[in-house]
Amino acid sequence: MGKNRFFHWIGLFIIFGFSIQNNPQRVAFSTLMNLSFEEVYNSEKEKWEYLPEFPEEVIKLDQQEVYIKGYVIPVDLSGDLFALSAYPFSSCFFCGGAGPESVIGLKMESSSRYTTDQIVTFTGVLSISNKYESEFFYTLENAKEYKP
């Protein structure tokens, strides 16, 4: 009887072990925007720039699968590159109404079409960059629309 119980538990472990999935963590723009900046001189560009200093709660999100809701902002004229913004286009970073910490670059998993200011929730692996040469402080790698 003990042997049968052992195989029963092994079977349950295998069934449930394979069914457990890593669910992405919800992230709010308010968390990502909670950072400070250090002013540094970029000798290559011959100008002063701001280098972000991320709090520990944001650093822990680096390379983690997350999902976040925001406004879609097309970045190029062809409509192939997108950013996700905490604010609509009229007041987003690209229009000068907000800071670079309020947008996330989207590296899409597959080609998709979105309209300006469309509110969408995306999931992907969050990549954090504190280098001023980077396009964005935050990038969502393998981004796709999140549908729980």
Q: Mind listing the pLDDT tens digit for each residue in 53-106? A: 999 999 999 999 999 999 999 888 776 789 999 999 888 877 777 888 999 999
Topology given in CATH for the domain delimited by 21-34+60-145:
OB fold (Dihydrolipoamide Acetyltransferase, E2P) (2.40.50)
CA nearest to 130, candidates 49, 43, 67: 49
pLDDT at 35 over 60: yes
pLDDT at 5: 52
Question: What is the Cα 73 distance to its own chain's centre?
Answer: 14
H-run or E-run covering 32: helix 29-32
pTM: 0.78
**Average pLDDT in the chain:** 83
Percent of the chain exceeding pLDDT 70 equals: 82
Long-range contacts of 50-54 (CB under 8 A, 24+ apart): 50/100, 50/132, 51/130, 51/131, 51/132, 52/100, 52/101, 52/130, 52/137, 53/130, 54/128, 54/130
- Residue pair 143/123 in contact by the 8 Å Cβ criterion: yes
> pLDDT at residue 11 above 60?
no
State whether residue 85 is helix, strand or coil.
strand
- Can you give the pLDDT at residue 27? 97
Q: What is the mean pLDDT of residues 115-133?
A: 88
Residue 35 structure tokens: 């950072």
Listed in sequence order, the residues at least 6 apart from 24 whose beta carbon sits closer than 8 Å to its beta carbon are 65, 66, 67, 123, 146
pLDDT of residue 14: 44
